[in-house]
Chains A and B, each alone.
Chain A
Amino acid sequence: MANGKRLVVEPAWCKGCGYCVEFCPKKVLVLEHEKIVVKSPEACICCGLCEQRCPDYAIWVEKEAM
């Protein structure tokens, strides 16, 4: 969580390809039972690289509600 943004996941849409896990610069994510899990939310810098490369729209960065 950073700069008023937060990371959101939708495990039901995750197909477990592993792109987000592999290309996360801060190693925030893991797959458990082939579904996305935010393992280290404190390390997330909300860069959005996971969202860009997720083919299934199961992970994204959004503005935190005020």
Chain B
Amino acid sequence: MPSQLVQNTMRTKRLPHIWCPGCGHGILMRDVCQAIENLGLEREKVSIVSGIGCSSRAAGYMDYNTLHTTHGRPIAFATGIKMAQPDMHVIVITGDGDATAIGGNHLIHAARRNIDLTVVVFNNSIYGMTGGQYSPTTPTGEKGTTAPYGNIDGDFDIPKLAEAAGATYTARGDCYHVPQMIKLIENGIKNKGFSIIEGVSICPTYYGRKNKKGSAVQMMHWQEQNCIDIKKAEKMTPEELEGKVLIGEMSRTVRPEYTELYDEIIRKAGGAK
């Protein structure tokens, strides 16, 4: 029998999962489950919606209402669920390619509407499922199978992108700082509006190997040393912050939520019960 958390929140018969040894996605999936447990949400009132890619296999392992959709589209599917059942906690689990490349349009527009979804991006900076092609979050200069001479594209800062589009809660966590990541997801779920939490993942198989990042353990050490809390970063010089990844709550604003605004439309139209 696995741990109480895993028994309570996952489909244990489906485990062990398909992710590679050292893949950070397993850690992040547990973080999402722990956050839901900490908030005491009824499982019947939680939907997990995912797209396509390594990240999106999470839905099948999690014991909630789970919808594994098409590539890039989970936020659009999730929007429909939330509109049909506004009391449902709708959590999207997606990847860097799923959320910011093929699904980038849905991401910014859901943020613009401030619809009450919680999007957790498992960001491994690579297309893992297809074997290591560079993604919109592969750092400029680094390699993938389709960037053999180094990536010349700029890379997205996911929380900033979502904040600019109108998200009312944005945050970034990682695999090393587990309690913080759990707290960030909890706060995202609690925020009545569009929330996004980037989870910096670890892909030793493709991203790590292509870019000579060492073993899974060495990549975890890298997060330990280079993922800097945003509050601590305030006291650091630009030189000290060179090459660091900032973690913590990035932004929080208050704006009317979409399904509540739509209820007002129904009242105006005379359709309220």
Contact = CB atoms under 8 A, between A and B. Distances in A.
Interface of A: 8, 10, 12-13, 15-19, 22-23, 51-58, 60-62
A10 B221 CA distance: 24
Interface stretch (B21-29, B100-108, B143-151, B157-165): B21-29
B25 A51 contact: no
Given A18-B215, A22-B220, A55 B23 contact: yes
A57 B3 contact: yes
A14 to B, nearest CB: 9
Contacts of A62: 3-4
B3 A60 contact: yes
A57 B9 CA distance: 12
Contacts, number: 66
A53 B217 contact: no
A53 B220 contact: yes
Given A10-B2, A19-B216, A57-B3, A52 B178 contact: yes
Contact of B217 (A8, A12, A22): A22
Interface in B24-49: 24-27, 30
B262 to A, nearest CB: 39
24 contacts: A8-B3, A12-B16, A15-B20, A17-B22, A17-B204, A17-B216, A17-B217, A18-B215, A18-B216, A22-B220, A23-B220, A52-B178, A53-B27, A53-B220, A55-B23, A55-B27, A56-B16, A56-B17, A56-B26, A57-B6, A57-B30, A58-B16, A60-B5, A60-B6
